[in-house]
Structure formats: C-alpha cells, structure tokens
Homo-oligomer: A and B are copies of this chain.
Amino acid sequence: MVRFDIVSQGEELVSGSTTDTNATWICAELKERGFTAGWVTVVGDELDGIRDALASAARRARIVICTGGLGPTSDDLTTDAAALAFQLGTAEDPVALGQIEERYRSRNRPMPPANRKQAILPTGAVLLENQWGTAPGYWLDVDGCRLYFLPGVPSEMKRMFAHHVLPDLAARYALPPRRTVQLRCIGLAESEAGQRMQDFPLPGVTIGYRAHLPEIHVKLHLEPGVDAGPVIAEARRRLGDYVFTVDGGPLPAVVGALLTERGETVATAESCTAGRIAADFTSVPGASAWYVGGAVVYANAEKVRQCGVDPAVLEECGAVSEPVARALAEGIRERTGATWGLGVTGIAGPSGGTPEKPVGTVHIAVAGPDGTTHRRLKLPFDRARNLQMSTALAEDLLLRRLDGR
C-alpha cells in the first residue's frame, strides 16, 4: 500500500473564495490505481507554512502531489518553500526558460520579465514541460519520497498529471496497463449500484463509483488479459436497464447521437420541468440538428393554447395526470412536426401536493411514430432534485424508445 499526500497551495483556497477541487480529482485518480490516500493539506501564501506542509507530507507519504504557487508573482512561493524544506539551492533552468520563452514566441508576445522567475527550480529537480501554460512543473526526490509540483490551474494541472505524473507512477510502481469501461446509469442510487455490484464474481476487475447527478457512473477497471466482454455482460445483468450507455457520453448527448444517426428530431412540452429538458438538450453542441424547440406550459391556459390539451380533461383529471402528459407529448409532436414529442407534468414541491398526488408525482410521456408511452414517477427528493430527476427520466424514456431497452 503506497501512500500519497496532497499539498494544495494558494491563498484563494484558505480565504473562502475558491474550493479545492484539484485535490478531489487527484484523489480519485490515484485511489482508482490502488494508491492509499493520506492527507490533503491546504495552505495559503505563507512561506513557512508551505515549507512545513511540504516537509511533513514528504515524511508521511512516498508520493506527494503539490499544486499551485508556481506562477510569476511575488505570492507564488512554492519553489522557495521547497528549497527551504529540503535544504536545496535554486537555480535558473535554461531548458525551462527556453520553454517559457517559446510559449510566448508562439503566441507572438514578448515574455514579461516577471515570468523569468518561473524557470527557477530547486537543485536536483527534474523538469516537467507544461505545454498548456507558462508554469513549468518538476519533480523532486527526497528521502524515498517523490514530490511532483504542478500548476494550480485545474485544466493545466490535469493535463500535466496525465502527461507526466501517471506515466512516471506507472513505471515506478509497475502499474498494469489497464482498460477502464464506464457504465452510465440513470434512475439508480449510488448505494443501490454498489449493492448490485457486490461480490462481483469475475476476477481481475476493480469497481469504482462516481455520482454525477442525475447520472451514476460505474467504472470497471480491468487488469491486463481480462476479457471485457463477459465483464460488461455481467455488470449489465446486475445493473439492469438502468445502464443507458457503455463508454458513451452524458444522457442528452446519447439521445442526440441516436437521433442524428436516425435523421429524426424531438420537441418538448414541459410544465413542471419548465425548460430544463430544452436546456439540457441544447447543452449538446450541434443540438439544432435534432432538437426543434417546444413549449413551456407552466400555466394551464398554455397547455391548452400551445398543445391543444382538452380543457375538460384538465378539469376532470387535473394538470398532473397521465392524459395530460400524453396530450402534451402528442400535441407538441403534431404542432412542431418533430419525429418525437416529449411531455412532462408534475408536482416538484415543496408545496402543491395532495394525498392522492403527493409532492414528487410526475407524469412523463413520449409520443412517436408508433404511439405514445407513459410513465408515472414518485420522486422522494426536494424541489431542485425532483426537477433534475424528472428531466433525466423523461430523456431516458425517449432513449428507451430509440435504443429498444
């Protein structure tokens, strides 16, 4: 069990203005590969503090990932702190300087004098080129611990980590080359996914879970030589038809890809979700190829005007009912001429519930060339999450018509 520590550096992280999401990301990456998480130490722009945090992390762990504090300004103190912590000198690294100068040259801008500071590394540091920003990274070996220093900007940090740190760790710890398969589920809680995957019978598989609400992602990490086919089949058997894609994208993107492939379109008529499905669909670049638009029918009068819902049905069954959901889906399909129509009506809460129709009651319907399907949801969450789940399950109801689940 090889232990890693993280030292996250930056005044913004301890002043309350920024949350340290870098540490979460690094922890997930290293845990998935079998390393043991030690401490995450978050420290502001304070030379002695960074020095002490680095020194104690290096005593505790064999791998230390340090992010932040490599910039050109006077409050970027990480390199000075590392030199103090491990009694090293510092010197300008000509290769690092060349890389920084080259980055400015390629953008036709002169290098500001302040950036020269970023080429100063502790003695013995091994340079890690940063192709995505000006701050070079490096590693340093101290008494059996390797400390990796990466910039704090998340996009740069992640690329440096994938490009430099992971290959180095794979070589040092003989990490087996892995294949990872990702199953995305909708409508299943993370704990339920965990229970269904318990005592997974096939060897050579490590299972990880991540909640990207409303989706739950189940990751299967396969050791070398493990045949993916039977592993995926067994996982699908256990997770059931909650799995809407293997190694595909987010739910609206999967819907969009299938519609594009089929040359079909969809329109939406939303009451309680009020534009959330429309917003979700149009978060996919290029959605105009398959998403037409639709209606937000928050008021009952709009359900009648925009989708032709029969006022007598509204009166008799209420706005939150199966016939109204079906009428919304069918009405918007007919009026827009889209291949598919999606209708949603429900009570998201916190108020508006009755004994017969409690908060969380949502009716979703999909109208298509071969008829209309309907589903009644009983959601147990708060308003925001009820709306989020209604949106996703309505999209999933359409996807089930498309993929035949």
- A115 part of interface (Cβ distance < 8 Å): no
Partner of A15, one of B37, B293, B295: B37
Give how many A residues have a beta carbon under 8 Å from the other chain's beta carbons. 70
Contacts of A53 in B (CB 8 A): 39
Contacts of A37 in B (CB 8 A): 14-15, 44
From A17, A38, A306, A336, residue with most partner B Cβ within 10 Å: A17
Closest to A16 in B: B28
Contacts of A210 in B (CB 8 A): 16-17
- A87 part of interface (Cβ distance < 8 Å): no
Which of A199-207, A274-282, A362-370 lies at the binding interface? A274-282
From residue A347, how far is it (CB to closest CB) to chain B in Å? Answer: 11
Contacts of A31 in B (CB 8 A): 15-16
Oligomer copy total: 2
For residues 18 through 38 of chain A, which have their beta carbon under 8 Å from a beta carbon of chain B? 18-21, 23-32, 37-38
From residue A247, how far is it (CB to closest CB) to chain B in Å? Answer: 20
With A24-B19, A42-B40 as known contacts, state yes or no: A279 contacts B275, CB within 8 Å.
yes
Given contacts A16-B26, A274-B293, 19 further A-B contacts (CB under 8 A): A14-B27, A15-B27, A15-B37, A16-B25, A19-B19, A20-B24, A20-B40, A39-B42, A275-B276, A275-B278, A278-B298, A283-B384, A287-B298, A293-B298, A293-B306, A294-B295, A295-B295, A301-B336, A306-B306
